[in-house]
């Protein structure tokens, strides 16, 4: 088990499924309130493949 209590993170890591993440958009749309609590560092820590994308606010 990769992350206790996070079965989706386990699944992504075990099956080597890549996710796309846009931290700037997540902050802009208030999906996360600060960079410090964004899930991106957790994904990288458990070796989930991540593609960073950039979307400019309109």
Q: Could you tell me the pLDDT band of residue 40, with boundaries at 50, 70 and 90?
A: confident
Q: Does residue 35 have a pLDDT over 60? A: yes
Who contacts 46 (Cβ-Cβ below 8 Å, separation ≥6)?
2, 3, 9, 13
Residue 20 reports pLDDT greater than 70 = yes
Asked whether residue 46 is domain-assigned, the answer is yes
Q: Is residue 11 part of a domain?
A: yes
Structural domains in the chain (count): 1
1 within domain boundaries: no
> Residue 1 has what pLDDT?
45
pLDDT at 18: 94
pLDDT band for position 56 (cuts 50, 70, 90): low
* Helix residue ranges per DSSP H, the chain: 7-14, 23-28, 40-45
Q: Is the pLDDT of residue 26 over 90?
A: no
């Amino acid at each position: 088990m990769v992350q206790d209590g996070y079965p989706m993170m386990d699944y992504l890591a075990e099956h080597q499924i890549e996710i796309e993440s846009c931290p700037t958009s997540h902050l802009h749309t208030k999906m996360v309130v600060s960079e410090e609590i964004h899930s991106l560092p957790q994904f990288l820590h458990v070796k989930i493949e991540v593609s960073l994308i950039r979307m400019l606010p309109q």
